[in-house]
Amino acid sequence: MEKYLEQLFADLNKASQKHTPPHDIWLSSGADPDNEIELDDMSFVEEYIYGEKMPISEITGMCQEQLPPPDILNEEQQAMLSVKLEEFLTFFNFKLEFPQNFPNHQRYTFIRRFWGTEHVPVSFGTSHIEFCSYDEENCPFPGYCNTCSEFNVELEDGSNFGNNKEVNVFFDSDDDILPSPEELELFVDSRKLSESSGKAESNPEPFYCGIYNDDGTLVNPKEVSMPELCLRCRSYFTGDTEENFLCLMNRNDQKDDPNFECGAFEEF
């Protein structure tokens, strides 16, 4: 088995050098993968809108049959192979999500099972692969993950929702967030007047529905980063204008916070 694993590692190294050209949408859009905002947006579009699922074996060039069944490997071999395979998958922009303290040798069964599935390959960014369905009774990582139990406690005591005065005040407000028809009409009339008088700017500032920072500066939606949590939320890319507006305000409010949080998050 040691000789076989050595050959397998050599095959993995060779397959990791496989180069797949970017999806056509990257070329047609002119998006810059080094720009964090454009990277998040375009990766989401590629994966969930234009992407087509492919077998992992086809994406990586490595077949599931090349990975030995777990029962013929000892724990040390499974752990070593798991580390190699997780590293190998990063070359194809896949990130397998395990609890931080989940042993490497126990990961191998999940990884080998993953090889028998189909997913959308992405040209840039990271495609996060979840093994958890957030069903506490059928937890795939018993004893290593308490995310579900913590979330259920929060729901029960209302620490993030019902008892949070700040959240309630924000969402229960009767004030109109979007500009009224009268305000929009006034804005259009002012532009027409400016243009007719020859005072229109050659490059006028775009109108962003009155979203301003605390210092009075106008918010440019294109400059508000898109957290990974938003890309997994059902509200992302929704046709609800007001919902999108609320999401934008929430992202802008937390733009300088290291950990983005959203009480309205719902898994996509």
Tell me the C-alpha distance between 90 and 128, whole Å: 10
Q: How confident is the model at residue 102 (pLDDT cuts 50, 70, 90)?
A: very high
Tell me the C-alpha distance between 65 and 223, whole Å: 46
Tell me the C-alpha distance between 189 and 116, whole Å: 60
- Spatial contact of 124 and 42, defined as CB atoms under 8 Å apart: yes
Helical (H) or strand (E) element with 127: strand 127-130
Given this model, what pLDDT does residue 205 score?
45
Given this model, what pLDDT does residue 38 score?
75
Residue 191 predicted with pLDDT over 50:
yes
Half-sphere exposure for 145 (CA within 13 Å, toward CB): 21
Give me the mean pLDDT over the 184-200 stretch: 56
3-state DSSP call for residue 198?
coil
Give me the mean pLDDT over the 18-34 stretch: 74
Tokens at residue 236, please?
């992302």
Given this model, what pLDDT does residue 172 score?
44
- Spatial contact of 178 and 241, defined as CB atoms under 8 Å apart: yes
| Residue 217 or 116, more confident | 116
Number of Cβ within 10 Å of residue 224's Cβ equals 19
Residue 184 predicted with pLDDT over 60:
no
The model's pLDDT over 166-179, given as tens digits with 9 standing for 90+, comes to 444 444 444 455 55
Residue 128 predicted with pLDDT over 70:
yes
Given this model, what pLDDT does residue 219 score?
74
Reduce the secondary structure of 82-111 to three states and give it as a string.
HHHHHHHHHCCCEEEECCCCCCHHHHHHHH
Given this model, what pLDDT does residue 46 score?
72
The model's pLDDT over 135-158, given as tens digits with 9 standing for 90+, comes to 778 888 888 887 777 777 766 665
Q: What is the DSSP string of 228-244?
A: HHHHTBTTTT-S-HHHH
| Residue 71 or 263, more confident | 71
Helix axis angle for 75-90 and 104-114, nearest 10°, is 50
- Spatial contact of 157 and 124, defined as CB atoms under 8 Å apart: no
Given this model, what pLDDT does residue 171 score?
40
Given this model, what pLDDT does residue 162 score?
46
CA 217 to chain centre: 28
Residue 204 predicted with pLDDT over 50:
no
Model's pTM, two decimal places? 0.53
The model's pLDDT over 32-73, given as tens digits with 9 standing for 90+, comes to 777 777 777 777 777 777 778 889 999 898 888 999 999 999
Tell me the C-alpha distance between 181 and 187, whole Å: 10
| Residue 186 or 93, more confident | 93
Tell me the residue type at 203.
Answer: N
Give me the mean pLDDT over the 219-233 stretch: 77
Q: 267: which strand partners?
A: 233
Give me the mean pLDDT over the 180-188 stretch: 59
